[in-house]
Structure 1
Amino acid sequence: MLFTRAFKIVLIMVAASLAVLIATAQDDSETQAKIENAMSAAPAAIAQDATILDWAFDADGKFVVLREGTNGWSCLPDDPSTPVNSPICLDDVAMGWLYALFTGEEPNVTVPGFTYQLQGDEAFSNSDPGATEPAADHW
């Protein structure tokens, strides 16, 4: 009886450990897929050292960092809420513009910013990034 109870406890512990390992492996593979997708937005010379971000925001209102970079570029994977694959890489200036759009602030852009979207883009409103339908005179 004592052996049966101990065996059940061990089985439960093993099952719980396996569940954690599987969840971690899935998270790692999802993160890696997002990183690879984000990097496909720019030439390898830029993407390989870019910071890779996710579309989720952290407690400070910044994009969640999937991988730190060193070259002043940031790349985001495809936005899952859009109908096409459209990852994007932005330099620091363009990234400041993007944050301003998401926070509703006026962008403070004094020099050109650059972006890459080698996988393409979809039509959206640059003046109202929250728009869900095309304006009568756009798109």
Structure 2
Amino acid sequence: MNMRTRRDFVIAAIGTAASLSSGPGRSLVLSKETYSDLLTAKTKGQQMRDQAEDPRITRARLSGPEQVTRNATVAELGADGTLTVLAKGTNEWVCVPGNENKIGEPPMCMNPMGMLWMMDAMQGKPTPTNKSPGMIYMLCGATQRSNTDPSDKTSPAIPIGPHWMITWPFDAKEYGLPTTVRDNGAWVMFAGTPFAYLHVCGTPWDGKEYREGDEAVWTMRYTRP
């Protein structure tokens, strides 16, 4: 897929997933032209001013890797799936600040397929409509009502540490993956439902980095899960 075709695909995918609000009382459906506006260049100095002026932007950008979030669009995500843009970005990612006082509304950063999956879940669709794996970062941690039911709105909160998600229907039994909440490793959340996805604990940089010349020490000791 060439760059132009990919760009058009991303614009179309996001356009079906959300609406944008450009200001109080001004709501518009995300069209190709609107999403193209989100991708227009913005200086690094302006982004830094945005962060200094609005703590929501700072919080949203902390939810993912800096390589991704520094050029991402930042927007507030409404309960109905609408997005209110706080800062325009130049890449395909959208970061939201969430609400620290509400269960299930963490800061997160999503690529187009990840955002499509999230919108489908929020809107109560029977199955997600993303046609390829999506990525969602929640490196600030999160709270979750249920590990098994994506529609649960009443169960006590489950605290979950920093993690990232591959939004694709992983089959826990087929791949031998756990389905229980843990503080390390990975598990399949919402296992057995159409919204099953791979939940990976920590950040992509956890652990010690191997560099050429390092002495590797292997214990070769394993414990059963």
Q: Which TM-score band applies after superposition, normalised by the shorter structure?
A: 0.5 to 0.7
1:90 aligned partner:
110
SS at match of 2:67: helix
Matched, 1:107 2:128: yes
What do the CA deviations read for 1:83-116 (whole angstroms, capped 9, x no partner)? 5993111110010011111222231122111111
What is the CA-CA distance between 1:119 and the residue it aligns to? 1.2
Q: Which has the larger radius of gyration?
A: 1
Does structure 2 conserve the Cα–Cα contact (< 8 Å) formed by 1:94 and 1:113? yes
The 4+ residue runs of structure 1 with deviation greater than 6 A are 28-31
1:30: Cα distance to partner?
Answer: 9.8
Alignment root-mean-square deviation, CA: 3.2
Q: Is the 8 A contact 2:93 2:109 kept in 1?
A: yes
More helix by share: 1
Does 1:32 pair with 2:54?
yes
Identity %: 29
Report the Cα distance in structure 1 between the residues aligned to 2:70 and 2:52, rounded to whole angstroms.
18
Structure 1 position 54 matched with structure 2 position 76: yes
How far has the Cα of 1:42 moved from its partner?
A: 0.9
In structure 2, how many angstroms separate the alpha carbons of the residues matched to 1:84 and 1:104? 15
Does residue 124 of structure 1 match 2:149? no
CA gap 1:99/1:85 in 2 versus in 1, 3 angstroms = closer
Distance 1:113 1:56, change over 3 A: same
Higher strand share: 2
Taking the aligned partners of 2:51 and 2:72, their CA distance within structure 1 comes to: 19
Contact 1:86 1:121 survives alignment (8 Å): yes
Where do residues 4-83 of structure 1 align in structure 2 (5 Å cutoff)? 32-56=54-78, 62-82=82-102
TM-score (ref. length: structure 2): 0.41
Aligned length: 108
Unpaired runs of 5+ residues, structure 1, are 1-27
Report the 3-state secondary structure (helix = DSSP H, G, I; strand = E; otherwise coil) of the residue aligned with 2:78.
Answer: strand
The TM-score normalised by the length of structure 1 is 0.63
The amino acid of 2:74's aligned partner reads I
Report the Cα offset of residue 55 of structure 1.
2.8
Q: Hey, what's the Cα distance between the residues in 2 that align with 1:130 and 1:84?
A: 10
Q: Which has the higher contact order (CA 8 A, sep 6+)?
A: 1
Stretch of structure 1 that moved more, 106-115 or 36-45:
106-115
> d(CA) in 1 for partners of 2:143 and 2:79?
22
> Is this contact kept in 2: 1:75–1:88, CA < 8 A?
yes
